[in-house]
Amino acid sequence: MKKAFAELVGTFSMVFCGCGAMTVNEITGGAVSHVGIAITWGLIVMAMIYAFGEISGAHFNPAVTIAFAFAKRFRWADVPVYILFQVVGAFLAIGTLWILFPESNSFGHTYPAEGFAPYKAFILELLLTFFLMVVIINVSTGSKEIGTMAAIAVGAVILLEAMFAGPMTKASMNPARSLAPAVVSGNLQHLWLYLSAPVIGALLAVMSCKLVKEDDCCKDGC
């Protein structure tokens, strides 16, 4: 259960800070700025990997957990528990933001930009998660994101993707991170794409692993 609670605390911290930056930016008329939001996401992910990488692997994302299991680096039997605690952590974070900033209308919920078709948002979110998981699968040890290399690499790619794709889709790459604010704010219209695209993108990243590394590159302990 220590691993599961580490996933809860890590996901809570990530969603609270990331969606918190978006919420504060909303209610202050842009005080944080788009750049500030992207930096916040990157830094909090980096910090949480340092904090919990050796305990739980610092997944904080159902798509990452599923992809690690698909890659045979993580037990399928443990996937439901990890996802449950990740989702609970995300809801606790958004619930806290709702208490602190009830005037917000979104709490950082994810949606395609005006004029950006949902199918385009689906493709973009899939690609964003593909790139993220390619980095994760290559810098992790087994199913764990541990140490300086993993923390900086994963935090940097999240900052990068939030920087350029945030204005178009909010650059979620994480079903739990999208689910909680959508439910709390009642904005469920595009939730389907934020639940499916990251998982598909992460699985494709694992499949691509064998194209550039040895056949056993995705097995546990590599």
Taking only the tens place, the pLDDT of each residue in 27-64 is 999 999 999 999 999 999 999 999 999 999 999 999 99
DSSP state of 144: B
Taking only the tens place, the pLDDT of each residue in 7-23 is 999 999 999 999 999 99
Taking only the tens place, the pLDDT of each residue in 198-211 is 999 999 999 988 77
**Terminal Cα distance for the chain, rounded:** 25
Q: Is residue 219 part of a domain?
A: no
Higher pLDDT, 159 or 143: 159
**171, pLDDT greater than 60:** yes
CA gap 23, 17 in Å, rounded? 10
Q: Is residue 59 part of a domain?
A: yes
CATH of the domain at 59: 1.20.1080.10
Q: Is residue 222 part of a domain?
A: no
Q: Is residue 143 part of a domain?
A: yes
Query: Percent of the chain, pLDDT > 90?
Result: 86
Decide if 171 contacts 165 (C-beta within 8 A): yes
Q: Is residue 218 part of a domain?
A: no
Q: Is residue 155 part of a domain?
A: yes
Q: Structurally, how many domains does the chain consist of? A: 1
Decide if 24 contacts 32 (C-beta within 8 A): yes
| pTM, rounded to two decimals | 0.92
Q: Is residue 194 part of a domain?
A: yes
SS3 assignment, position 101: coil
In which domain, by residue range, is 39 found? 2-212
